[in-house]
Structure 1
């Protein structure tokens, strides 16, 4: 399977003010047309304001261009580029057909799906949509993250090519389901936790959910 990269985006950390909030963020990413080096920690010239937004398990953030039409009628200041501060805007690859552990080629690089993206309040502030986090959670349109298995030069003209689908076929959507909704379903959690490629940052809280004697509830 091949998936077209609509835009390749990088950003620098800025001090931003939206409404009553001021914060550090690199959310205002811009598309780049020239080839760029992708390292274990992300694209050259791309920055992350906080540790939990970056690191080797979160080197690249992808958001599906398929969802842009939905958000066009929701957000203020709509943009066709890096709408949610993602590095990769890609057509056709979504949470329901991307699986934790799936390996793709991207230009010279090799990347692997590691975890869903966690919706952030900064998006709500930027786009003046107070319930943005809830909308992303409830629709499942969160985006997801990659680790880099092999560094190399990439460009917007390079497709994402599925090289090796993960044998357990646990979709990003399935992880979102146990993360947000079916939180104490032992069977579903077991299946998710069995995926070796799952990032430790999400494995730890999911393991706590699995070990809990609670029943399903939103908190």
Structure 2
């Protein structure tokens, strides 16, 4: 697996149906290395610390391959990497083969897989369509949250080299399916 883009976002206020929504989901690719810290990505905005960031959700990765599926459903959008709020757009991140606890070395960093992303209404704001939230739940493309075991810089082009595989643990796709069932989706 290889990082295609590294993405960060700034604080943005959106008027969503008469209500001001503050979000950091509008991420964009950057040409310089980004620093992955223990609880977040340096210079990346997190507005809702209750649900984003923190030790088990310090970095969010999403697969480049999933973009093609979504582009076919949202043809009116201007597509760019970072659309899903991911810090790392990764060429072939496969939730069906990545297990909770799997560990990867990338750039100066060591990352451990923790859990899938659960979509919230801010994804709907980003896509200007709340249908995306339910559609996101119905697909097995949640992306992966990582814990940062060793901090440091990563950049586009860096390879994720697996250093530990935890096949005794569930895959990210299995965890996501259980969450979906719990929510009745």
1:203 aligned residue? none
Equivalent residue of 1:53, what SS?
coil
The answer to whether structure 1 residue 16 and structure 2 residue 14 are counterparts is yes
Match status 1:46 vs 2:12: no
- 1:21 deviates by 4.1
Residue ranges of structure 1 left out of the alignment (5+ in a row):
184-216
| Structure of greater relative contact order (alpha carbons < 8 Å, 6+ residues apart) | 2
Decide whether aligned partners of structure 1 residues 180 and 68 sit closer, same or farther in structure 2, where only a CA change above 3 A counts.
same
Cα 1:79–1:167, aligned 2, differ >3 Å: closer, same or farther?
same
Counterpart-to-counterpart distance in 2, 1:84 and 1:96: 19
Aligned partners of 2:95 and 2:173 also within 8 Å: yes
Highest CA radius of gyration, 1 or 2? 1
**2:119 — aligned with what?**
119
Consecutive unaligned residues of structure 2, counting only runs of 5 or more, are none
**How far does residue 80 in structure 1 lie from its aligned partner after superposition?**
2.7
Q: State which drifts further: 48-57 or 73-82.
A: 73-82
Q: CA deviation at 1:172?
A: 0.4
4+ long deviations beyond 2 Å? 17-22
Tell me what 2:100 maps to: 100
Structure 1 contact 62–145 (Cα < 8 Å) conserved: yes
Aligned equivalents of 1:130, 1:12: Cα separation in 2:
22
Question: 1:73 matched to which residue of 2?
Answer: 72
- 3-state SS of 2:73 partner: coil
Secondary structure at the counterpart of residue 142 of structure 1: coil
Partner residue of 2:5? 7
Tell me the residue number matched to 1:186. none
Counterpart-to-counterpart distance in 1, 2:61 and 2:109: 15
Give aligned pairs, total: 183
In structure 2, the residue matched to 1:166 is 166
Higher helix share: 1
Contact 2:84 2:123 (C-alpha < 8 Å) held by counterparts = yes
Aligned mate of 1:37, from 35, 38, 42 = 35
